[in-house]
Amino acid sequence: MRRVALTGLGVVSPLGCDLARFWERLTAGWSGIRRIQNFDPTAYGSQIAGEVKEFDVNAFIPPKERRRMDKFSIFAMAAAKMAVADSGLNLAGENPERIGAIVGSGVGGLVTFQEQHQVVIAKGPGRCSPFMIPEMISNMAGGLIAIEFNLKGPNYSVVSACASGAHSTGDALRRIQRDEADIMIAGGAEAPVCEIGVAGFVAMKALSKRNDAPEKASRPFDANRDGFVIAEGAAILVLEELERAKKRGARIYCELAGYAATCDAFHMTAPSEDGEGAARAMKLAMKDSGCGPDDIDYINAHGTSTELNDKVETRAIKTALGETWARQVMISSTKSMMGHTLGAAGALESVVCALALTHQAVPPTINYETPDPDCDLDYVPNTAREAQVRACLNNSLGFGGHNACLLVKKM
């Protein structure tokens, strides 16, 4: 199979919307979690979120165009434009049939769904927008990106809850490896911080209720974790066939070398307690890349800050890498700073891994204060660490038992 490089990155996140600021805040242990501003959260059990604040939409999308786009597609388009610019590619000069886009989303256009439901209830079905369906369907982010850049290769969306962004990136990798494309635009986007989105997760008792201390609420692997913090954002990566990227003199962040997808086949929302599915995904991703456990220096964990996820993922890491190396590898959950961006998480965390390889440093897991006997590995607590990073695993685990693991390695 052909080898694949990452040559462009773009982020829209609660930690900022440019790569330099994103990385600076990650390594500083800065939290982007605050009281919700998108709506009045007073009546909600969880009133905190990772919202995108420093975002100049006018720099990316004209007003006329964005009136026909849901918020998640706006985030995706902005991240795509940043990633393409970062790659140095002139897509207009490329063969459009050899370029595709795969952009995942867990819930798609939830904001549009909520707004148009309110219109139908208040004013009747005749007032529903004709753009409701195309705005809210999850594949539209990738579709709009393809229209913007005239991409005529593979184009679709992966919907696998919180694993969507990772699965989309892995599928894009396969398209290039199998010579079905030369360049792929891939990632994930999500905008779930609205009344119906927060209400649904509160009803599940999945969210942290640490409303009086938002910046302390997301605390993966800590004994006092009480749920995840919902967040919004997007990340897009430019994947390019390696020899092609070298030939044009591209700046290469790293090689995307391995990918695996598995399923727990266990429960609608809970992970299998033995962690077998997640462990198998890590093992298969390593096998796919030709790496062994002792090649892995860093794992960007799914690390949601929920009781079950964190202890099960810890167990899975031990199974996949073996007890000895699992205790040597650095592990962090950047959700401690960003919150959980659902279908965008795997893509954002792939960007984190690429930057960790570039800068030879690992971001911390913040708010790690009280050790949990069930979570007894090196979670890089509270302070970033300069270290040799040769290869990284990126874990994403979604409702429905969906597991995705990506492996990136230094060139």
Q: What is the pLDDT of residues 228-282, one digit of tens each?
A: 999 999 999 999 999 999 999 999 999 999 999 999 999 999 999 999 999 999 9
Q: Which of 194, 220, 247 is the last residue of a domain?
A: 247
Residue range 319-335: mean pLDDT, rounded: 97
114 and 172 in a single domain? The answer is yes
Task: Give 149's pLDDT tier (boundaries 50, 70, 90).
Answer: very high
212 and 305 in a single domain? The answer is no
Question: Does any domain span residue 289?
Answer: yes
Name which of 163, 165, 146, 147 is nearest 155 in CA terms. 146
110 and 228 in a single domain? The answer is yes
Q: At what angle do helices 345-359 and 19-28 cross, to 10 degrees?
A: 80
C-alpha gyration radius of the chain: 20
Which residues are part of the catalytic machinery?
Answer: 162, 302, 340
Token readout for 87 is 């790659």
Give the tens place of pLDDT for each residue, 75-92.
999 999 999 999 999 999
Residue range 374-393: mean pLDDT, rounded: 98
CA 26/CA 20 separation, integer angstroms: 10
Please identify which residue in the block is written with the tokens 């999945």: 206
Contact assessment for residue 157 and residue 190, using Cβ atoms and an 8 Å cutoff = no
pLDDT of residue 1: 85
Question: Does any domain span residue 349?
Answer: yes
Neighbouring residues of 143: CB distance < 8 A, sequence distance ≥ 6: 155
Domain holding 328, by residue range, is: 257-409
Question: Does any domain span residue 252?
Answer: no
179 and 317 in a single domain? The answer is no
SS3 percent helix, strand, coil of the chain, rounded to 5, is 40, 20, 40
Task: Please tell me the pTM assigned to this model.
Answer: 0.97
Please identify which residue in the block is written with the tokens 């605390």: 219
Residue range 383-388: mean pLDDT, rounded: 98
How far, rounded to the nearest angstrom, does the alpha carbon of residue 204 sit from its chain's CA centroid?
Answer: 22
Please identify which residue in the block is written with the tokens 């004209």: 62
Taking all residues of the chain, what is their mean pLDDT, rounded to a whole number? Answer: 97
Helix, coil or strand: residue 374 = coil
Q: Could you tell me the CATH number of the domain that includes residue 182?
A: 3.40.47.10
CA 292/CA 72 separation, integer angstroms: 37
Q: Which of 190, 217, 247 is the last residue of a domain?
A: 247
Question: Does any domain span residue 235?
Answer: yes
231 and 268 in a single domain? The answer is no
pLDDT of residue 181: 98
pLDDT of residue 321: 98
pLDDT of residue 222: 98
Burial of 270 (0-12, 13-18, 19+ CB in 10 A): middle
108 and 237 in a single domain? The answer is yes
Question: Does any domain span residue 213?
Answer: yes
How far apart, in Å, are the Cα atoms of 154 and each of 8, 92, 142, 259? Answer: 19, 17, 10, 18
Contact assessment for residue 82 and residue 55, using Cβ atoms and an 8 Å cutoff = no
Q: Give the total number of structural domains in the chain.
A: 2
Alpha helices in 360-402 (DSSP H): none
Residue range 12-29: mean pLDDT, rounded: 97
Q: Which of 220, 247, 274 is the last residue of a domain?
A: 247
Query: What number of helices (H) and strands (E) belong to the chain?
Result: 14, 14
Contact assessment for residue 381 and residue 197, using Cβ atoms and an 8 Å cutoff = no
pLDDT of residue 165: 98
Residue range 372-393: mean pLDDT, rounded: 98
